[in-house]
């Protein structure tokens, strides 16, 4: 039998299938259920900086209708609400860690380096095995330069690093000026892993109702090409582990991403679509592919198809449909 174990963020994982952060890992009962299917690790639903702020604002709006409101009351509400949301999250980590042996990675979605970074220590004390920072600042601010935006990422990471000894993974998007250089610089920040890439809620327009609706919530298998390209290009060139996220829908896709250089792969959409049983099915697919190709461990083939190892390194940088596809492109009724 092939050995599927791997080391990710310094954690020993039974296998490279990590349940990614989503509503699937928000509740204790669901996490227990997920663990029965033996994934390598589980990333908890993110604690959202905006979510906390939103809750606070709602309460403040209600309170402004009251005549006895003083600025201090705002301050009080601030900290009380904060404590509730955070306390629930820390209790969840404690309860899950007291019940299960699967590695648990907490997750924080953050857009600033203010106020919240002390939480990293609390998360460590609650017993989490690692911390994933889901960092995304939509690059739509006309008044801030690309460099200013990037600085914020580094500032957040440094503050969190100071606060905790937990292994840190940073989950990012692909909206950067020079993505390769940015990923390289991130990896030099004393973090243990980078997750490529987050996938976002996307707006759509309802043509009849003139409403903004939700775009494709779940990914499709073809979307693997985005992380595949970048993992293949960055593998062997950066100082930390890489986990793949987006389009990991089968054991075969997992094999491709590991060939490209991923240490682990995160799955969300496929579990929403096919249920938690998909975890074992995907691992079975990976194992049978390994056996077919006589690989006894992940180390036997990890990074074998990375750009640095490839016989055709330019293939990962090809972006235009030029002569290679000229026959395909020609209209042929």
Ligand X SMILES: Cc1cc2nc3c(=O)[nH]c(=O)nc-3n(C[C@H](O)[C@H](O)[C@H](O)COP(=O)(O)O)c2cc1C
Binding-site ranges for ligand X (CB under 6 A): 20-23, 45-46, 107, 109, 134, 171, 198-199, 217-219, 245-248, 267-269
Task: Return the residue matching tokens 């996307």.
Answer: 202
Whichever of 246 and 307 has its CB closer to ligand X, that residue is 246
Q: Least separation, in Å, of the C-beta of 108 and ligand X?
A: 9
CB 241 within 8 A of CB 264: yes
Task: Return the residue matching tokens 């209708």.
Answer: 65
Q: What are phi and psi of 280, to 5 degrees?
A: -70, -35
DSSP letter assigned to residue 3: B
The CA distance from 204 to 216, in Å, is: 9
CB 235 within 8 A of CB 182: no
Q: Least separation, in Å, of the C-beta of 254 and ligand X?
A: 11
Whichever of 55 and 309 has its CB closer to ligand X, that residue is 55
Whichever of 164 and 198 has its CB closer to ligand X, that residue is 198
What 3-state DSSP class applies to 147? helix
Q: Least separation, in Å, of the C-beta of 143 and ligand X?
A: 27
With a CB cutoff of 8 Å and minimum separation 6, the contacts of 188 are 239
Q: Least separation, in Å, of the C-beta of 146 and ligand X?
A: 23
Whichever of 254 and 295 has its CB closer to ligand X, that residue is 254
The CA distance from 98 to 88, in Å, is: 15
DSSP letter assigned to residue 14: S
Whichever of 172 and 259 has its CB closer to ligand X, that residue is 172
Q: Least separation, in Å, of the C-beta of 1 and ligand X?
A: 26
């Amino acid at each position: 039998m092939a050995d599927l174990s791997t080391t990710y963020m310094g954690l020993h994982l039974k296998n490279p299938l990590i349940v990614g952060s989503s509503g699937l890992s928000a509740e204790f009962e669901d996490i227990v259920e997920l663990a029965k299917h033996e994934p390598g690790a589980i990333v908890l639903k993110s604690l959202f900086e905006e979510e906390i702020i939103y809750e606070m604002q709602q309460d403040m709006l209600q309170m402004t209708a009251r005549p006895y409101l003083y600025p201090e009351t705002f301050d009080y509400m601030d900290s009380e609400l904060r404590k509730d949301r955070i306390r629930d999250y820390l209790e969840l980590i404690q309860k899950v860690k007291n019940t299960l042996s699967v590695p648990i990675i907490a997750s924080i979605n953050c857009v600033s380096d203010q106020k919240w970074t002390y939480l990293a220590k609390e998360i460590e004390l609650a017993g989490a095995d690692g911390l994933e920072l889901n960092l995304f600042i939509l690059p739509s601010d006309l008044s801030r330069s690309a460099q200013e935006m990037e600085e914020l990422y580094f500032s957040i990471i440094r503050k969190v690093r100071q606060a905790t000894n937990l292994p840190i993974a940073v989950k990012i998007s692909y909206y950067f000026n020079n993505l390769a250089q940015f990923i390289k610089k991130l990896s030099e920040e004393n973090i243990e892993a980078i997750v490529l890439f987050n996938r976002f809620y996307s707006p759509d327009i309802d043509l009849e109702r003139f409403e903004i609706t939700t775009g494709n919530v779940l990914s499709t298998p073809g979307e693997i090409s985005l992380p595949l390209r970048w993992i293949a290009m960055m593998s062997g060139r950066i100082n930390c582990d890489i986990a793949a996220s987006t389009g990991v829908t089968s054991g075969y896709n997992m094999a491709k991403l590991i060939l490209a250089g991923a240490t682990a792969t995160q799955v969300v959409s496929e579990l929403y679509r096919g249920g938690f049983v998909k975890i074992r099915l995907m691992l079975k697919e990976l194992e049978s592919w390994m056996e077919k190709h006589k690989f006894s461990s992940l180390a036997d083939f990890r990074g074998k198809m990375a750009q640095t190892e490839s016989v055709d390194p330019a293939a990962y940088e090809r972006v235009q449909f030029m002569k290679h596809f000229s026959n395909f492109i020609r209209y042929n009724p």
